[in-house]
Structure 1
Amino acid sequence: MGSSTGAEGLAPHAAVLPIPTLGHITPFLHLSRALASRGFVITFINTEGNHRDLKDIVSQEESFGSGGSIRFETVPGVQTSEADFTAPETRPMFFEALMAMQGPVESLLVRSMARDDDLVPPVSCFISDMLFPWSTEVPRRIGIPEVKFWVASASCVLLYSSYPQMLEKGDIPVQDFSMDKSIEYVRGLSPLPVWSLPRVFAFRDDPSFTRRYERLKNIPQNSWFLANTFEELEGGALEAVRDYIPRIIPIGPAFLSSPSMKNASLWKEDNECLAWLNEQEEGSVLYIAFGSIATLSLEQAKEIAAGLEELQRPFLWGIRPKSVPGMEPEFLEPFKERVRSFGRVITWAPQREVLQHASIGGFFTHCGWNSVLESMAAGVPMICHPCVAEQNLNCKLVVEDWKIGLRYSNVGSGKLVVRDEFQKVVKKLMEDDNGIAQYMRSNAKKLSEEARKAVCVGGSSYQNLENFILSLK
C-alpha cells in the first residue's frame, strides 16, 4: 500500500499512538492538536481504559473543528490509573501489555488505509512513541511513513546514545551513585555527576534499558524524530544528537502550541484549589506534586508532612491514589485537619493553571519532563526530588545547567530526605534573604519567554513543525 499524503484534495491523516501513561499521552495530545489546527486529520489511538478516564478531553477534541479534526480509536491495553508500573516486579507486565497492542493497532491501521470515506481520508503516516518495540515494523509492513515522537529531553537521547562510549571507559555499570565523580566526555552535555545518571545504568543487562537503547540505535537515518524540547533550551545537546539521529526536530514545548486544550487527566481535577490559591499572598505557596507514575515511600511522605507542619508555610500538595503505598486515612486525615489553616491536600491538581497562579512561589517536583517544562514556562523555580527513569538527569539540568532549581544533598542516592533538610531547602527557595530565589526566578522567567517565543509564529519550534509538515506532504 502507498501513502496518500499530498494526493489532490485529500487532507493528510496521521495515526497517533502514545505509550498508555499520562506523561506520554499529554504531549501526544498537544502535538495532535497542533497538527489538527494545520489541516491534519488525526486518529488518536488509546487503550480502552485510559480512553474512559479521558472522557472530558475526548469530548472537547471531538468537537474541535479548526482546520482538521481529532478522532479517537481504542485498542485493548493497560489502564494507567489502576496500575503501578514503577516497581521492578511489574515492569515486565507493562512491556508484555505493550507487545500485546501490536496486533490490534496494526489491524486498526489496515482498516484505516482501506477506508473509503469522503470525510476521513486513508491514514498517510504513523506517529508513534519510540518506546513501542514494534513501532517501526508495523508502518513498514503497511506501507506508510513512520514518525517518532520523543516526549523527554534531547539530553536524555544523547545520554542513551553515549552508552557504548561510557561502557568502554568503564563508567557504567555504576557501582555507587553517591561517588564524587563526573563524566566529562559526552559531547553536547556539561559534566555529568554520577548521581545524575538513570538508575538503569547500574545494570548492564537491564531489559528495559537494553530495549530502549536498541530502539534508539536502530532508528533509520531517514526517519523523522520529533522531540518535545526547543533549540534555545537544548541547542548543544540537539547538535550532538544529530550525529546519531540526523532528522531530530525539536517542536516543543508541545503544550504551549495548544494552550486552550484542557489538561489531560486520568483523575478528577480539584479546581476548587484555584479559589484557595486566590486567597494566598503572591509567591507564598509551595506546590507539591509527583506526576502520574512516581511513588513516594510512606516514610518519605511522613517526613515531608512533618516538615510542612513545622514550617507552617502555605502549601498545596497533590497526593494521587496509590502514590504513597501504605498511606492510611488514619494518618492523612488528621494531618489535613492540622494544617488546614495554611495548607491544602488534594488528590489531583489542574497543574498548568496552578503553576501559572500568582500565589505559587515554588514547585516541589519529581522532575518528570512535562512538569519541568510546565514549571519553566510558568517561570516557577523548582525543588527537585527525582524518582524514576531519567528524572535524575532532568534534576541536574534544572539545578546545574539552567539554574532554576535546588536539590537535596543526597539526591540520587535513594536515601530518605529527612524533615530538617527538607525544611532547609524549602526556606532557601521560598525566602529571598540571600537573593538565590530571586536569581532562579529571573532565570526561569527568561526561559519562559524563550519557550513561548519558540512556539509562536516565526519561532524555532513553530518553524520546525511547519517544515516537517511540508516535508511530510
Structure 2
Amino acid sequence: MSGLHVLIIPFPAQGHVIPLLELSLCLVQHGFKITFVNTEHTHNRVINALHGRSIGDGIRLVSIPDGMEPGEDRNDIGKLCAHMPKVMPGKLEELIEEINRVEEEKLACVIVDGSVGFALEVAEKMKVKKAAFWPASVAILAFFYSIPKMVEDGVIDTDGTPVKKQMFQLAHDIPEVDSTNFVWSTIGGALSQKTFFDYMCKNIEAVKVTETLIGNSTYDFEPGAFNMVPNMLPIGPLLASNRQGNSVGHFWQEDSACLEWLDQQQPNSVIYVAFGSFAIIDKIQFQEFALGLELTNKPFLWVVRPDITDDAKEAFPEGFQERVANRGKMVGWAPQQKVLRHPSITCFFSHCGWNSTLEGLSNGLPFLCWPYFADQFMDESYICDIWQVGLRFKRDENGIITREEIKTKVAQLLGDENYKARALKLRKAAIETVKEGGKSNKCFNKFIEWMKAQEPTTSRK
C-alpha cells in the first residue's frame, strides 16, 4: 500500500512541532500523505517563519482553535492546558469526519503528541488507528508513569506538590532531579502547576493504553529509561540532517547570515548560545550573562530572541556590543541544526531542551547547561551526571549566575578534552542508530509496517 493518509497532532509549542514535522517529512519519503494539525496561533507562527518557503510536498498544514482568546498569553502553559481540552476535541472530530467523507482521503492512522492525550481519545472514539509520539526523553515518560508510586511513597502530594525539597531518582542510571524542579513544579504559579499536573496525569493514562508508542530517542542514550517503558519504539534522533534536508517548524524566521559569519571563524573556536523558545531571563541576569561571555575572550554566536528579556535590543550592558564586535555575533533566531554541524563550533551553551540536547549530542558537542523549566532539569542531569558531556552552573546568594562563574565553567569545559571525547562517542552512537540496520532505523521500519497494515488494531482498554 502507498499514499496512506496520516493525521499528526503536536502540542502547541516549538519543541513539539519541530520533531513531529521532521517525522512527517520522513513519512512522506515512505509514500505517506500527511495532514498536520496545529492550533491557529501556532499555525500562523509556523507559516510566518517559513517566509514563503514550502513546508514540503505531501504535507498539508491545517489549524483548529485552542480555545483561548486572541492576544492571550500562550506561554502560560497552565492556561493553555485548561482551554485546549474544552474546544479542540470537537474540532478534531469535525476535521476527521471531513477527511473521511472523501473515499480516497480516509485516514489510515492518527499520530498524537503524548502531551495531547485528548486527541488519542478522539481517535479511539472515531475508530481510527492511533499511535502516541513522545517528544521528550524516555526518562520523563518513565517519571510520569511513576507518579502514583511517588504519591504512595510520600514524595509528592496528590496535586503534585513535593512533600519536601529532596533529590529524587527513579533508578541509578536515570537522571537525579531536585523535587522543586519536577516537570510541573517549574511551570508558572501554583494554579498553572496544578492545572498542568492534572492535565498530564490524564494524558499519560491515554498514552498507556495506546497500541503503539514511538519516541524521539535511542536505546544508546538512555537504556535505563527504556527498561521502565519497554513498549516504546525509539525512532530518534529525528534530525533534518539525517535525510539531508532543512529543519522546519520554527516559530521565528531564521537568520542564515550567521552561517557566513561562522565560515570566517577558526575551526572549533565558537561558543554557540541558544536558550530555546520559552526561556525568559531577567535584565540583571541577562547583563551578567553578556559580561560573562565577554570575559571568556572567545568568539560566540548568541541567539537573542526579541522576547528573551525586557527590551532585548536595549538590554545589553553599555558598550558591550562595541567591545565584542570583532568576535561576537547576536541574531534573533538561527538555523540551529546547521549551526551545530558547523566546524567552527566548539561547545553548546544550551537551555537543555530535548531537541537541542539531541542536536548537540548528534554533533559531538560538549554542553554548558542553563535549564529554564519543565524537562530541562532532567536533561541537564543526563548531560552532566549520566553522559558527563557538560557542566552546570552554581548561583550566588542572590540566585545569579555570575560573569566569573560563566568564565570559569567555559574554561573548565574547553580545557578538558574528556568532555569532547565522550561527546564524540555519543555522536557515533547517534549516527549509527539511524543508519540502515541501526536500532532506531529498525524501529522506524517496524512502525511503518504497522501503519501500512490494512486493519486498524483495537485499543487494549
Give the TM interval when normalised to the shorter protein: 0.7 to 0.9
**Letter aligned with residue 240 of structure 1:** M
Partner of residue 5 from structure 2, selected from 4, 8, 13:
13
Q: Which residue is 1:428 aligned to? A: 412
SS in 1 for 2:360: helix
Q: Which residue is 1:92 aligned to? A: 79
Q: Which residue is 2:354 aligned to? A: 369
Percent of aligned pairs with the same residue?
30
**Letter aligned with residue 87 of structure 2:** A
Q: Assess if the C-alpha contact under 8 Å between 2:348 and 2:367 holds in 1.
A: yes
1:115 to 1:388, Cα distance in 2 relative to 1, 3 A: same
1:123 to 1:332, Cα distance in 2 relative to 1, 3 A: farther
Q: CA deviation at 1:218?
A: 4.2
Question: Residues 216-231 of structure 1 correspond to what in structure 2 (within 5 A)?
Answer: 216-221=204-209, 223-231=211-219
| 1:74 is aligned to 2:68 | no
**Letter aligned with residue 136 of structure 2:** A
How many Å separate the matches in 2 of 1:100 and 1:36?
A: 29
How many Å separate the matches in 2 of 1:190 and 1:77?
A: 35
Q: Assess if the C-alpha contact under 8 Å between 2:154 and 2:163 holds in 1.
A: no
Q: Which residue is 2:304 aligned to? A: 319
Partner of residue 153 from structure 1, selected from 137, 156, 173:
137
Question: Residues 312-461 of structure 1 correspond to what in structure 2 (within 5 A)?
Answer: 312-327=297-312, 329=314, 331=316, 334-410=319-395, 415-430=399-414, 432=415, 436=416, 438-461=417-440
Q: Which residue is 1:102 aligned to? A: 89
How many Å separate the matches in 2 of 1:226 and 1:332?
A: 45
Q: Assess if the C-alpha contact under 8 Å between 1:182 and 1:191 holds in 2.
A: no
**Letter aligned with residue 229 of structure 1:** S
Q: CA deviation at 1:141?
A: 2.0
Q: Assess if the C-alpha contact under 8 Å between 1:17 and 1:44 holds in 2.
A: yes
Q: CA deviation at 1:95?
A: 3.5
SS in 2 for 1:231: coil
Q: Assess if the C-alpha contact under 8 Å between 1:57 and 1:264 holds in 2.
A: no
Q: Assess if the C-alpha contact under 8 Å between 1:53 and 1:267 holds in 2.
A: yes
1:330 to 1:392, Cα distance in 2 relative to 1, 3 A: closer
**Letter aligned with residue 238 of structure 2:** A
**Letter aligned with residue 23 of structure 2:** L
Q: Which residue is 1:29 aligned to? A: 21
SS in 1 for 2:118: coil
1:298 to 1:83, Cα distance in 2 relative to 1, 3 A: farther
How many Å separate the matches in 1 of 2:143 and 2:219?
A: 17
How many Å separate the matches in 2 of 1:449 and 1:125?
A: 33
Q: CA deviation at 1:380?
A: 0.8
1:402 to 1:342, Cα distance in 2 relative to 1, 3 A: same
How many Å separate the matches in 2 of 1:414 and 1:370?
A: 31
Aligned length: 440
Q: Which residue is 2:265 aligned to? A: 280
Q: Which residue is 1:264 aligned to? A: 249
Q: CA deviation at 1:208?
A: 0.5
Q: Which residue is 2:458 aligned to? A: none
**Letter aligned with residue 342 of structure 1:** R
How many Å separate the matches in 1 of 2:235 and 2:435?
A: 11
Q: Which residue is 1:471 aligned to? A: 450
Give per-residue Cα distances to partners, 1:7-44, cap 9 Å, x unaligned: xx663211011112111110001111111111211111
1:222 to 1:15, Cα distance in 2 relative to 1, 3 A: closer
Q: Assess if the C-alpha contact under 8 Å between 2:21 and 2:248 holds in 1.
A: no
Q: CA deviation at 1:222?
A: 5.0
RMSD of equivalent CA atoms = 2.8
Q: Assess if the C-alpha contact under 8 Å between 1:24 and 1:151 holds in 2.
A: yes
Give per-residue Cα distances to partners, 1:237-275, cap 9 Å, x unaligned: 112122xxxx32111011154331334322121111111
Q: CA deviation at 1:332?
A: 6.5
TM-score of the two chains, using structure 1 as the length reference: 0.85
Give per-residue Cα distances to partners, 1:414-463, cap 9 Å, x unaligned: 92211111111111123x2xxx2x11111111111111111111111111
**Letter aligned with residue 60 of structure 2:** R
SS in 2 for 1:416: coil
1:272 to 1:84, Cα distance in 2 relative to 1, 3 A: farther
How many Å separate the matches in 2 of 1:153 and 1:337?
A: 40
| 1:167 is aligned to 2:151 | yes
Question: Residues 24-63 of structure 1 correspond to what in structure 2 (within 5 A)?
Answer: 24-55=16-47, 56=50, 59-62=53-56
Q: CA deviation at 1:136?
A: 2.1
**Letter aligned with residue 202 of structure 2:** E
1:420 to 1:275, Cα distance in 2 relative to 1, 3 A: same
**Letter aligned with residue 113 of structure 1:** N
Q: Assess if the C-alpha contact under 8 Å between 2:3 and 2:31 holds in 1.
A: yes
Question: What runs of 5+ residues in structure 1 fail to find an aligned partner?
Answer: 1-8
Q: Which residue is 2:456 aligned to? A: none
Give per-residue Cα distances to partners, 1:339-386, cap 9 Å, x unaligned: 111111110011011111111111111000000000000111100111
Q: CA deviation at 1:295?
A: 1.5
Q: Which residue is 1:211 aligned to? A: 199
Q: Which residue is 1:6 aligned to? A: none
Q: Assess if the C-alpha contact under 8 Å between 1:384 and 1:407 holds in 2.
A: yes
**Letter aligned with residue 301 of structure 1:** F
How many Å separate the matches in 2 of 1:195 and 1:338?
A: 41
**Letter aligned with residue 103 of structure 1:** G
1:52 to 1:199, Cα distance in 2 relative to 1, 3 A: closer
**Letter aligned with residue 461 of structure 1:** S
Q: Assess if the C-alpha contact under 8 Å between 1:188 and 1:240 holds in 2.
A: no
* Range that drifts further, 39-48 or 441-450: 39-48
**Letter aligned with residue 403 of structure 1:** Q
SS in 2 for 1:134: helix
Q: Assess if the C-alpha contact under 8 Å between 1:85 and 1:293 holds in 2.
A: no
TM-score of the two chains, using structure 2 as the length reference: 0.87
How many Å separate the matches in 2 of 1:176 and 1:422?
A: 30
Question: What runs of 5+ residues in structure 2 fail to find an aligned partner?
Answer: 454-461
1:454 to 1:191, Cα distance in 2 relative to 1, 3 A: closer
Q: Assess if the C-alpha contact under 8 Å between 2:272 and 2:345 holds in 1.
A: yes
How many Å separate the matches in 1 of 2:371 and 2:279?
A: 9
**Letter aligned with residue 73 of structure 1:** V
Q: Which residue is 1:234 aligned to? A: 222
Q: CA deviation at 1:59?
A: 4.3
How many Å separate the matches in 2 of 1:214 and 1:100?
A: 17
1:258 to 1:326, Cα distance in 2 relative to 1, 3 A: same
Q: Assess if the C-alpha contact under 8 Å between 1:296 and 1:324 holds in 2.
A: yes
More relative contact order, 1 or 2 (CA 8 Å, 6+ apart): 2
SS in 1 for 2:107: coil
Q: CA deviation at 1:57?
A: 8.5
